[in-house]
Structure 1
Amino acid sequence: MIGVGVIGASGWAAGSHLPALAGLPEYRIAAVATTRRESAEHVAARFGAPAAFADAAELIGHPGVDLVVVSVRAPLHAELIRAALAAGKHVLSEWPLTVGADEAGELARAASAAGVAHAVCLQGHHSPDVRFVADLVAEGRLGRLESAVLVASGGPLGGAAIAPELAWGTEPAGGNTVLTIMGGHFVTTLERLAGPLTELSARLPRLYDEVEVTGTGRTVPNRVPGQVLLHGTLDGGATASVTVHGSAAPPDGFLVKLAGSRAVLTATAPRPGTYLHWTDWDIRIDGKPVEVPDSYRTVPFHPKDGPVANIAALYRDLAAALAEGRDPHPDFHAAARHHRLLAAVERAAGHGGKEEIS
């Protein structure tokens, strides 16, 4: 079994990574770390971890930890990842890998040089619905792909108000924006379906110079976009159009439309309040429902239950990669390429022209 240590265990990881790991026989939760020992001990007791730390360095050095999971704010990722690599540990980082494309590239090169497995949590790659639709496209079920459209809510980021626990994300250095988080997950999921973008143009409207911090009666300056508008060309010649609209409310659904020379596939949310990289999809070809075969569901969770299922599928692929001696996917190099893509979006929005994606 692979011993896992989770840094940032009392936040997002408590409702996603830790339940996923607890449900997979390939893993054992060896240690958890938070900024306070009390909270770390609480999480350890909840998930049966034998060790709890208030110092991430102690977790990284723990002999029972083979894989370090970094699930803290993006600006803190790089330091923790480098420490884990120096200790010879495998690393799984939450998305975004870091807060800039240059540093993402440096981390990818460092991970390769360390000779360990490295992966990033872009769990849309492992969604059974996404993999099924990607196979339909690759097999020519739609004919030649001509266009790909994605419209989705980025809430609760990007709106006129923001929750107190998210208010730090109104500064670009936080790396927690509609572009970096929601746009990052959504665009990489679209590329998984339809192929990589080769060029793009973009707009990043910022509708609010200040936003209300919900329930506090105060406002904070806002220096990040609230909308992502992207048009581009995919490898193979199809066009792509992406709209991510910010909101103070939870997400209200999504639409994916893949138009081919023989058929049109649409995918929508079967229920409100979730994101396309978390949930199962209502898939239709030319208006007729299509079911995802059970063979695509490889973990003891269902995507209708939230993000745990697709994160578990990512962990299962990582375990298989370690057993087979191959690279997991998406790895740090895939993450670095995605950071470069988002940087191209920002440049295109700045100068109003096109950017090529290598």
Structure 2
Amino acid sequence: MSVKPLRVGIIGADTKASWAGASHVPALQSLPGLALAAVATRHEESARAAAQAFAAARWYADPYALIRDDTIDIVTVAVKVPAHRDLVLAALAAGKAVYCEAPLGVNVAEAEEMAAAAGSLHTAIGLQGRLNPAVRRAAELVGAGRLGAVLSATVRATTVAFGPTSLSAYDYFNKAASGASFLTITTAHVLDIVEAVLGNITEVDARTQCIWPEVLLADTGERSVRDIPDHVDLIAATARGACVGVQVLAGVERNPHFVLEVRGSAGWLRLTGDHLAGVQVGDLALSASVDFTMPDARVASGVGPTAADFWRGAAINVGEVYASLARDLSQGRHDTPGFAHALHNSRLIAAVERAARTGERQGQLG
């Protein structure tokens, strides 16, 4: 007896440089238990083009019409952060399972509202790095005590984004009001992987800088003011007792890297990655001084049909989120990090911001 695949509708699946087109579409194409059933944008022309390019059966120029479609099982919200709240709340009110890109809201208050509205519905948040197979295996090694007592950890992470130049279409990332910034995206993904391996962060000291307060918009020649940090150094304590030093650098075009090294009384492990966009994009590799079973095989790969080759690997971790959400829906479980987890991440980043602003250590992060 064949089982019908879960039908996904993506809001924000544009053919022009969209994250959904680069990651969500190829992830779904790799997973036999899910199918891209519909796409929605704000305009008929772009919605039609997306449906044709991504082989979706239906298209909508009104995202709320997609939400009202009774045939859709999972609504994916992959639009600019200020638009998340209304779309997510509408999808939850319609009883849908919802996968929303991170950050969930423009601030903690919005994240609290959406997390409360989710209730018992299935949700997933786009903090996909923690579900990478290598990260899961590293967490297992630490959790099983294979490294002994965890003594310390260090993280070095880079992204090509938030540097001295940008395109005008992406200038909103340089504005705090957008909710989509170096801290809420790049740093949030890095810290989420730290927590996946070492347990929740319980205290944090931080220093932020804005190295490039003026940004050249390369396509127009105009200059824009950046009102967010583009560099962070922090020290955190985690639930496993480890002290973690973290540095996240923006605007790195050469030798991109992510390195998380954990030292224990009985051994060490190291997670590494090298995608220009940051740790959440692309695969990670695990090495250790102790024997371990190789990480599980990736469930998704490839690049979207309209995406630049720069985004190769973006489907890997997004595919893990979809696979986890599909298991939860079929088994009646709630293992996939969802909106409650998104709220925790939002509160953590707010604590980093307070620590940097006040110069005082932040605890009781919630």
User: When the two structures are superposed, what TM-score results if normalisation uses the length of structure 1?
Assistant: 0.92
**Residue 297 of structure 1 pairs with residue 292 of structure 2:** no
**Residue 285 of structure 1 pairs with residue 288 of structure 2:** yes
Q: Counterpart in 1 of 2:242?
A: 238
Q: Counterpart in 1 of 2:175?
A: 171
The runs of at least 4 consecutive aligned structure 1 residues that moved more than 4 Å come to 302-305
By how many angstroms is 1:300 displaced? 4.5
Q: Counterpart in 2 of 1:144?
A: 149
Query: Does structure 2 conserve the Cα–Cα contact (< 8 Å) formed by 1:129 and 1:292?
Result: no
Percent identity between matched residues is 35
**Residue 191 of structure 1 pairs with residue 195 of structure 2:** yes
Query: Does structure 2 conserve the Cα–Cα contact (< 8 Å) formed by 1:9 and 1:33?
Result: yes
Superposed counterparts of 1:1-358, under 5 Å: 1-10=5-14, 11-112=18-119, 115-157=120-162, 159-247=163-251, 249=253, 252-269=256-273, 271=274, 273=276, 275-286=278-289, 293=294, 296-297=296-297, 299-301=299-301, 305-356=312-363, 357-358=365-366
Q: Write the distance in 2 (CA, Å) between the matches of 1:311 and 1:253.
A: 20
Segments of 5+ residues of structure 1 without an aligned counterpart are: none
Partner of 1:57: helix, strand, or coil? helix
By how many angstroms is 1:262 displaced? 1.5
Q: Write the distance in 2 (CA, Å) between the matches of 1:153 and 1:267.
A: 14
Q: Write the distance in 1 (CA, Å) between the matches of 2:349 and 2:199.
A: 16
- The 3 A distance-change label for structure 1 pair 333 and 189 is same
Cα deviations across residues 48-79 of structure 1 (Å, max 9, x unaligned)? 21111111011111121121100000111001
By how many angstroms is 1:277 displaced? 2.8
Q: Write the distance in 2 (CA, Å) between the matches of 1:272 and 1:187.
A: 17
Q: Structure 1 residues 246-255 or 328-337, which shifts more? A: 246-255
The count of aligned residue pairs is 351
Query: Does structure 2 conserve the Cα–Cα contact (< 8 Å) formed by 1:211 and 1:221?
Result: yes
Q: Write the distance in 1 (CA, Å) between the matches of 2:262 and 2:252.
A: 29
By how many angstroms is 1:36 displaced? 1.9
Q: Write the distance in 1 (CA, Å) between the matches of 2:11 and 2:335.
A: 20
Letter of the structure 1 residue corresponding to residue 187 of structure 2: G
Q: Write the distance in 1 (CA, Å) between the matches of 2:185 and 2:238.
A: 21
By how many angstroms is 1:162 displaced? 1.8
Query: Does structure 1 conserve the Cα–Cα contact (< 8 Å) formed by 2:159 and 2:276?
Result: no
Segments of 5+ residues of structure 2 without an aligned counterpart are: 304-310
* Superposed CA RMSD: 2.0
By how many angstroms is 1:292 displaced? 6.0
Q: Write the distance in 1 (CA, Å) between the matches of 2:286 and 2:175.
A: 37
